[in-house]
Structures are given as structure tokens and as C-alpha cells.
Amino acid sequence: MHRPTSLGSIAVFSWLMVAPGAARGETAAALDSVVVTATRVAEDSRDLPVSIDRVDERTIRSGQLQVNLSESLLTVPGVSAQSRQNYAQDLQVSVRGFGARSSFGVRGVRLYSDGIPGTMPDGQGQFSQFDLSSADHIEVLRGPFSALYGNSSGGVIAIFTEDAKPGYMLGGAADYGTFNTQRYALKTTGGNGLVNYVIDGSHFQTDGYRVHSDAERNLFNAESRTCCPRLCTRCSYAGHRTRWPRSDHPRRRSTFRRCP
């Protein structure tokens, strides 16, 4: 025989199970919302039915050399970024398997830097033009929603330059390590309400831990924004320049010895 149960007791039991903190008088802490722009329109990440991650400025620069993008993508799920220290072929990045069969470079993943495409129409791209010294955050979009950016898009990796804080700032950094690895960076920012600019330049060179694996790279990144209150307009200008004076491939050079 089944014993009848009142709906009032079920409601009270369900309320206690769903909100135990409310029964103890506790209040939930409000979390800061994360606004993402990799979907072409700035929206709250909680309102989007997509798989997207945001790498903040602290993760990019804290304890990192800021040379390879693989330093910042290690904690992003579904992304495999491998740095073989072969600067002639750049990184090997795959997003949910897209680009895993590429022997070098990036295929099947769209790359953007401040809205500027870094990917060819066939889906091949490189990370060498990404300047991490002035990066504010990185957004990684995974899954079928990356088709919003066109064909050959198994994922989207977008990097955004920081906005200058009020006032003017000039700073630099110098790093030196084994195998004659050197990196020097100089950055200046300024903002007075009408003009906001960020100018950054860096130099990187290394002898490599393998024979014929030395490389040298120069990066220059500049972004300027102008706001006119009377016309309510906002214009943005962004430019990137990458120069590789030297980059040797360890597999394309061989040493031959004459037999005695």
C-alpha cells in the first residue's frame, strides 16, 4: 500500500536541497562577469552557447618570456600548443583536433590580432606576428560557432592589445638566459580622454640548443584610438610589423665530412 505524501512536505524538502545556504542564512557571492568579443559582438560569456575561454593579462605576463603563444595557451582546454623551439616553422597548434595533421604552422584555426586577420584564405597562419608584450587578453573560441569567421575555421584565437591608462608611461624589460637567449622590450602608453595610444617594440634572439637553430625576431605593435565627444565617434588604428633577420632550420642543414 502506498502512503500518500503531501505536496507541502515535498516543496520544503526540495527547497532545503536546492538552497542549503539560504536555510543557514548565507548569501552567495556575486562573481564578476566576463565580456568576450570573439563572437564579433561584445557579450557576456554566460549568455553565449559557445565554448570560449579568456586568458587574462596576468596569465600572459606572469613568469613568462612572452615569446611564444604556447606559454599562455597551456591551461586552455581543447587546445594543444606545441613549441619545438624551431622558429623557422613556428608553433604547432590544434583546437579540438583541427590542425593536428599539420607538420608545421597552423591550419584550420583562424588567427586574429586586434581584428586584423593573421590567417590565409586556405586556413594557414602563423603566430610570429603576435606581440604579447602589449596584449591585454586572449580569447579562444572552440567548436562549430567558429564558422562565423569563415571557412577553414575549426577554432578562433584572437589577441587584443591593452588600452592605455590615464596619463603617460614609459617602461622596458630585459631578459637573458641559456643558449644566448635574449629579449629586450620597450613600451610607451598614454591617454588623456581624447587620444589613447600604445606603442610597443621588442627584440628576441637565441642560439638554440640544437645546431643551426638560431633565430632572431623583431616585433613592432602600435594602436591608437581617437574619441571626439561632439561627434560621438571613435576611430581605432592598429598596425603590426614583424621582421625575421635570421631563422635557421635544424633539419635543412647537414655537415659532410670527407672520408680519409
pLDDT at res. 172: 93
Query: Cα separation of 169 and 196, whole Å?
Result: 12
Which one-letter DSSP state was computed for residue 98?
B
Q: Label residues 211-250 b or e (16+ Cβ within 10 Å = b).
A: eebbbbbebebbbbbeeeeeeeeeeeebebeeeeeebbeb
Supply φ then ψ for residue 228, to 5 degrees.
-110, 110
pLDDT at res. 167: 92
pLDDT at res. 254: 44
3-class secondary structure, 46: helix
Query: Cα separation of 65 and 87, whole Å?
Result: 15
| Cβ(121)–Cβ(76) below 8 Å | no
Give residue for cell 538552497.
19
Question: pLDDT tens for residues 188-241?
Answer: 999 887 888 999 999 999 988 888 788 888 988 888 888 776 665 556 666 666
Q: Which residue, 40, 36, 37, is CA-closest to 149?
A: 40
Q: Which residues make beta-bridge pairs with 173?
A: 185
pLDDT at res. 170: 95
Which residues in the chain come in under a pLDDT of 50? 1-24, 33, 253-260
pLDDT at res. 212: 79
